[in-house]
Copies of this chain bind each other. A is one copy, B any other.
Amino acid sequence: MVDVTDIEKAAERLSEISVRTPLLQNYELDQIAGGTVLIKPECLQLAGSFKIRGAYNRLSQLTSAQASNGVVAWSSGNHAQGVAAAGAMLGIRTTIVMPEDAPRAKLENTVRLGGEVVTYDRYTGDREVIARQIAADRDAKLVPSYDHEHIIAGQGTVGLELAEDSSSMGLPPDQVLIPCGGGGLSSGSALALKSRLPEVDVYAVEPADFDDTARSLLANERVRIDDTARSICDALQTPMPGELTFAINRRLLSGVLTVSDEEVRAAIRFAFRNLKLVVEPGGAVALAAVLSGKLDTKGLTTAIVLSGGNIDVDLFAEIQAEPK
């Protein structure tokens, strides 16, 4: 079972590659929220999302014998880039199974970072089966994208930094909103946050159609989304919570918020115009929740994680061209 000491150890390992991101504030966002909003911009992270944290924490713990045949992962794009970047830094060969319709920027960056990319059809293929087959053929280690203790501990360093930096600013948050796909980031961060700030409310934020964690909490067991679900948030299209991540999230989350594609697009526009940050759809869900008033922020300190910024230029331009 992952606990906060695993996250502290991960933070120590990650200090080798300086992944710490700042906490930002924005006057206009505070005005809209009627309170204080702390922004954790993981879009500014190495390889453009928080995923390097878990990937590096996993890869750096492999023995040289384990690493010698390389590693295999499956990912819609951000984990792919995180694994490729961690592999490049540690001298480990990486192979990543990615959907053929993943954002071009994510496919290209993964290759540029030295990853070998194998594509599949998101709606008919099973990326996990393909990845496991490649790993078996090569006797290579798998790097799951969320349901693994090392991954959860690595992503949890986002919550740890948030707790530490907000406290040293004298602004410990009342509530923290974290984008949620498979649940690695939200569960790891919830562990760290609740350990440092026991009174804090941690919310996961999901796309309206991919609300598997919300449904699973209601059902009190892991529920799978049907495969007609679609969302602009390519990074959060996970059909079911992880086993390990859900066990943590059911214990620690105060709730789950959901946002529509339109609310996400408005958040990406706000980030461009007001925050001057490039945020991808999946990275913008927590901001979307605040901007569209999904929870009370008046007089409170609310922290949001912007989990990634890897968006194709065409989609970005299309979203920006829409009326405000």
* Chain A interfacial positions (CB closer than 8 Å to B): 18, 22, 24-27, 41, 43-44, 46-48, 85, 105, 272-273, 275-279, 309, 313, 316-317, 320-321
Contacts and interface: CB of A to CB of B under 8 A. Distances in A.
Given A317-B321, A320-B313, A275 B44 contact: yes
B276 A272 contact: no
Nearest to A39: B44
**Number of copies of chain A assembled together:** 2
Given A276-B277, A317-B320, 9 more contacts: A18-B25, A24-B44, A41-B276, A44-B275, A105-B273, A277-B278, A313-B320, A313-B321, A316-B317
Contacts of A105: 273
- Tell me if A's interface is mostly helix, strand, loop or mixed: helix
In order of increasing CB-CB distance, the 10 nearest A-B pairs are A276-B309, A22-B22, A317-B317, A276-B278, A43-B276, A313-B320, A27-B46, A44-B276, A272-B278, A48-B276
Contacts of A321: 313, 317
A105 B320 CA distance: 13
A47 B26 CA distance: 9
Nearest to A24: B44
A48 B309 CA distance: 19
A64 B115 CA distance: 63
Given A48-B276, A105-B273, A276-B43, A316 B309 contact: no
